[in-house]
Amino acid sequence: MVKNILSDKNNLTEIKKMQPQLVTWFHALHQIPEIELSLPKTVAYVSAQLTAMGVKHQILPNSTGIIALIGKQGPVIAVRGDMDALDICENTQLSFASKNGHMHACGHDSHAAILLTIAKYLQAHENELKGRVKLLFQTAEEVLRGAKYMIEQGALENPKPIAILALHSGGFQQTYPTGHLTIAESVGFYSSDSFEITVKGKGGHAASPQAAVDPIVIAADIIENLQQLISREVHPGIPAVLSVTHIHAGNETYNVIPDEAFLMGGIRTTNAATRQMLLKRAKEICEKTAAVMRAEATFKLTDGAPPLVNDKAVSEQVYASIQKLFPQEVHWIKEPNNCSEDAAYFFEKVPGCYISLCSLGQENKVFYPHHNAKFRLEEDVLWKGAAALVQAALDLMESNS
């Protein structure tokens, strides 16, 4: 048997020395942002780096993700990192800024770079590991489809992980200083479901509304009735948000009642049962409000993800692991992030812990949030994300071997 020589101190020192390589990967990925499910350039780049390290991996069909496995035998810990970007034109002065009309405005380039750092470290110590680590390089997080797709492709099978870890960089918890890490005590992220509503009425002359069925007025009634779901049908102690964010009807003229109105919006909550109730009732309200007014309405769900819930036992182990490395820089948080994360699909299948790394950067002393064209990261602390995930994975393997 190979003697295990890994130690908390050695892990920290070695990974910190890998920071320049991490930043090189981060900059390279930042310049080739791709969106949604298929990321050919990103997947090719990540695959080339894994191949150079000698890490065995599988590219999913049509560049829709990568699954890598490091270790000989024993318990399997999954570590997930997303790598898709947004349809945003970058407006930073960074020397490595994207110029292709898309942008890594949420930090997924750093997540992929962190996973590459983890891969390089673990591969160098493969014979010392007391288990295996499965790295999940995921696409399509921004449209909440990538995790579900990877599960359908067998990402959690052969071998099946006993726990899963994930990390997000940026400024979700800006109350803590840069370089600090946070873990949610229970719910980490809200669920998210987007919807489209089409109201079909009967067009006509605006001077004779009695001869028409006005879809604009009906759409307004639907919006008002949907808002009452939150104020009158959700328990006051359960966070929930319903927003109609887009409405379109007719052409740019004042004297024509159109045939149709189209609406878009989203529903978010932290409770699985409340989520299902809201989806069911929203559909009923749309259809029945329209029917009362002699119209028809269709309610269509598009993208969605459940709430992301941290497993208590796994999270406590992860917190203890990180505390060994950064005693004063890891914190429990009670309030969930009101954004959403499709890693929730992984966490439904495997108990896990989601970590946030405070690393939001500044431009001219101004912080710009996620999904902003001026978003940037404080790259000097990204190695801490890699160190935290490595230590957590090593300790989870140790405790389950």
Residues 199 and 80 in one domain: no
Q: What is the pLDDT of residues 254-305, one digit of tens each?
A: 999 999 999 999 999 999 999 999 999 999 999 999 999 999 999 999 889 9
Q: Give which of 81, 74, 72 is closest to 109, Cα–Cα.
A: 81
* 1 within some domain: no
Q: What burial class does residue 334 get, using C-beta atoms within 10 Å of its C-beta: 0-12 exposed, 13-18 middle, 19+ buried? A: exposed
| pLDDT at 2 (0 to 100) | 38
- pLDDT interval class at 173 (50, 70, 90): low
Do the domain assignments include residue 3?
no
CA torsion through residues 231, 195, 167, 107, sign: negative
Q: Are residues 184 and 228 in the same domain?
A: no
Domain that holds residue 143: 8-189+307-400
304-315: b (≥16 Cβ within 10 Å) or e: bbbbbbbbeebb
Is 350 part of a structural domain of the chain? yes
Q: In what order do the strands lie in the sheet with 163-170?
A: 57-59, 65-70, 132-138, 76-82, 163-170, 352-358, 181-184, 330-333
Question: pLDDT per residue over 61-99, tens digit each?
Answer: 999 999 999 999 999 999 999 999 999 999 999 999 999
Task: Output the pLDDT for position 174.
Answer: 60
CB proximity list for 327: less than 8 A, separation 6 or greater: none
Tokens of 141: 């997080």
Model confidence pLDDT, tens digit, residues 4-56: 457 888 889 999 999 999 999 999 999 999 999 999 999 999 999 999 999 99
Residues 255 and 386 placed together within one structural domain of the fold: no
CB 162 within 8 A of CB 103: no
Q: 337 and 378, same structural domain?
A: yes
State yes or no: pLDDT of 175 exceeds 80. Answer: no
The position carrying tokens 């894994």 is 50
pLDDT of residue 323: 97
Q: CA 229, CA 231: separation in Å to the nearest integer?
A: 6
